[in-house]
Each structure stands twice: as structure tokens, then as C-alpha cells.
A and B are shown apart, each in its own frame.
Chain A
């Protein structure tokens, strides 16, 4: 049976780990220089968490990239996926529990994308 004081203490100790959804795009947009068109943050289920830059059908991109990542993920040590496409380049990496995906135009170079 909790008394009021114990209750209050327990409640204060419980931590809520949350995202600031308005700040996310601003943070992601820092990567959108030198040929980077769009930066995406994708959750483990393939849903778009946030993006900065052009909308190139980002919902679909998120789902596809997530799918590619999970089917390649047999090897635990997977760090990056790099893809060259007709209209640009894609670099994907895992950050904490989510995927970070940078989409660069033709002029962007892989080295730079990876570094970002």
C-alpha cells in the first residue's frame, strides 16, 4: 500500500525517454549540404520518424531502405549500406535503434556521405 510520499517519489524516478519531433528535422538538415538532397530517420518497423530536405516519396524510401537493411543484417557487424542508383547515391547506417539514411545527388561522393 503506497502512501502519498512514496508514490510521489516513485513517480519522480520514472523517466520518460522521448523525442522532440520538431527539433529532429532541424538536426537532420545539418547534413543537407554539398549535394545531400534528403536525410531520413527510420524506425525499426520501416516507418519514417523524421526527415529534412526534399520529399522524394520518403515514406516509400523509408520502407524500402528498412527492408534492405533487415535482409542484409545477417552479419551483426553490418555498419553501412551504400547504394548507387540512377539518380543519386544512398548511404544507410544504424544509430541506436534507428536507421539514418542520406540521399545524395549524382554529384555527391560516397566518402563524403559516409563521413557525414
Chain B
């Protein structure tokens, strides 16, 4: 079980994010969420037998005081990942930084080897250029405050794919044996002679891994695909149809998306139009047994 802390000041967007990624909310639905009371702890199953113990820490000032003092050890011990969310439009940036600084001191004390991610959120509310400058400045400041611990910063918004990039990176850091997984996926890609192969977690459609034989100029394609397929999957379930697999074909390529293991989806991209779906399906079927074994052996 991996303990993941989700912190940040009130209304920073923590519960909205977690609802979209893990609970099948669409961005519009999150307007209906009310402020989180105290700590909401949820057990999220990810990749079958990996349990994320997500602590969504409500941030009314009284609670924050509680975490940092009375419940300090309880909250900050055994943490694998800390996710700290900053509202880019915050009225009181100093207070945000203070809270972060205090949390980092507690982390250094109880979970100094944890990964720390800082999400600069609600970026849709800021014009692009200004946003980039703001992000860089914030990133520098947070890195400095966190020392000696390292932080990874992301710009995010619930209204586009940036949310998926941040969360993919977060869960990626929690997967055991991930380099072995990547090697095997790479082998699969080579044998299939596919342009690219992408592995997604089943419920969240977060990208876990990818391998390719050809380069592509859009580095943000993965999170865009997560976003698009997730939306499509949600629309399917509204029509009481369970999304299982999809073949998308145009003049440039064919994309095959199918269930690989009980907890993952695979997307295979072929730019050779003469390749038939059934040939790819044979390969997916062969790889399935192997990858299912791989994921079953992930120790909890």
C-alpha cells in the first residue's frame, strides 16, 4: 500500500482533481463538490493490486493547524508521495508558501525519501505567456524551499490534458519494477513493428508506459490521448455501453485500443495501412498472458 498525501490550501482544487482522475467525474461535474471536511482518506485500487491510500487533506485553516501539530506524525509518516496543489490565482501567496514550507519540514522529519510533486493549478485562468513566467518563478521558489528534498512541478488545469500529464507522472513513480515493464513493452513494440505502443491504466486511463520505433513531434500526445479516450469511455458508459476496444483508421495510421490485462489498456499505432487488425490482435493476445503475469507479481 502506498500512502499518497494530497495537500494544499482550501479551494485549490484537490478534490476536483481526484474526482476527475479516479472517480469518473467530468470537469463540469466538479462544480457541485463541497469543501472537504478534515481528511478524506480513500483507498484507490490502481493496476489491480497497487493500493493508493489517498489522503485528501481539507484545508480550512483549523484542519491545517491540526495536521501540522497534533496529528503531525500520523499524517506525515510512511508517505510515498506528497502532492501539493497551489491555486495560481491565490489571493495570499505568502500563506500558501508558508503552509508548503511547514509541510516540507514535517516531510523531511518523517518521510524524507518520498517524492514531492507541486501542481500549479487552475492555469486556464491565466493567459499563456504570463502563465509560463509565473510557473517558472514559482517552480524556482518551491524547489528552493523544499531543499534538501527535490520537487517536480507541473502546470495543471481540469479543463485540458495537463491534468493527465501530472497525474500520469505521479502514478508512474509509484509503479514497482517500472523499468522492466518498459523493457518488455519496448520488445512488444519492436516485434509488432508498430510505430508506437502505449500502456494505460484501465480505470483512470493514465499513461503508465510507452514505447516507439518512430519519433513524433507532439510530446504532449500521451496526455491528450488519455483525456480524449477517458471522455469517450465516460460517454459510452452513459449510454450503458462498456468500452472494450476500438480501431481508428485514417489515411496516415491505424490505432488499435484494446484491453491488455485486467487492469491495463494498450494502444498500438501502425502507419502501414496494409496491416490487418486481426494480426495485431494475435500479438496483443500473445502479449496479454505475459503482461498479466507481470502485473500479478507486483508485490503489495
Binding site for B on A (CB under 8 A): 1-2, 7-8, 10-11, 14, 16-25, 43, 45, 47-51
**What B residues does A20 contact at CB under 8 A?**
191-193
B31 within 8 A of A: no
B34 within 8 A of A: no
- Alpha-carbon separation in the docked complex, A50 to B193 (Å): 14
User: Shortest beta-carbon distance, A60 to chain B, in Å?
Assistant: 14
- Alpha-carbon separation in the docked complex, A47 to B297 (Å): 34
- Are A21 and B280 neighbours in the complex by a CB distance under 8 Å? yes
**What B residues does A24 contact at CB under 8 A?**
279
- Are A16 and B192 neighbours in the complex by a CB distance under 8 Å? no
Q: Which residue of A lies closest to B300 (CB)?
A: A1
- Are A19 and B279 neighbours in the complex by a CB distance under 8 Å? yes
Interface members, chain B 251-294 (any A CB < 8 Å): 270, 272, 274-280, 282-283, 286-287, 289-290, 293-294
**A16 and B297 in contact (CB under 8 A), knowing A21-B283, A47-B276?**
no
With most chain A CB atoms within 10 A of its CB, the pick from B187, B272, B274, B290 is: B274
- Are B180 and A49 neighbours in the complex by a CB distance under 8 Å? no
Sorting the interface of chain B by its residue count into under 10, 10 to 19, 20 to 34 or 35 or more gives 20 to 34
**What A residues does B180 contact at CB under 8 A?**
8, 11
Interface members, chain B 158-199 (any A CB < 8 Å): 177, 180, 184, 187-188, 191-193
Contact pick for B276, options A14, A17, A23, A48, CB 8 Å: A48
Interface of A is mostly: loop
- Alpha-carbon separation in the docked complex, A25 to B193 (Å): 13
**A14 and B293 in contact (CB under 8 A), knowing A1-B299, A2-B299, A21-B192?**
yes
**What B residues does A8 contact at CB under 8 A?**
180
**What B residues does A17 contact at CB under 8 A?**
286
Q: List 12 A-B contacts (CB under 8 A).
A: A14-B289, A16-B287, A20-B192, A21-B192, A21-B193, A21-B275, A21-B283, A22-B193, A23-B193, A25-B274, A47-B276, A51-B274
With most chain B CB atoms within 10 A of its CB, the pick from A2, A17, A18 is: A18
**A21 and B276 in contact (CB under 8 A), knowing A1-B299, A11-B184?**
yes
- Are B299 and A11 neighbours in the complex by a CB distance under 8 Å? no
- Are B272 and A22 neighbours in the complex by a CB distance under 8 Å? yes
**What A residues does B184 contact at CB under 8 A?**
11
**What A residues does B286 contact at CB under 8 A?**
16-18
User: Shortest beta-carbon distance, B76 to chain A, in Å?
Assistant: 29
User: Shortest beta-carbon distance, B10 to chain A, in Å?
Assistant: 43
**What A residues does B191 contact at CB under 8 A?**
16, 18, 20
- Are A47 and B283 neighbours in the complex by a CB distance under 8 Å? no
Q: Which residue of B lies closest to A7 (CB)?
A: B297
- Alpha-carbon separation in the docked complex, A18 to B297 (Å): 23
Q: Which residue of A lies closest to B191 (CB)?
A: A18
- Are A21 and B299 neighbours in the complex by a CB distance under 8 Å? no
- Alpha-carbon separation in the docked complex, A51 to B290 (Å): 28
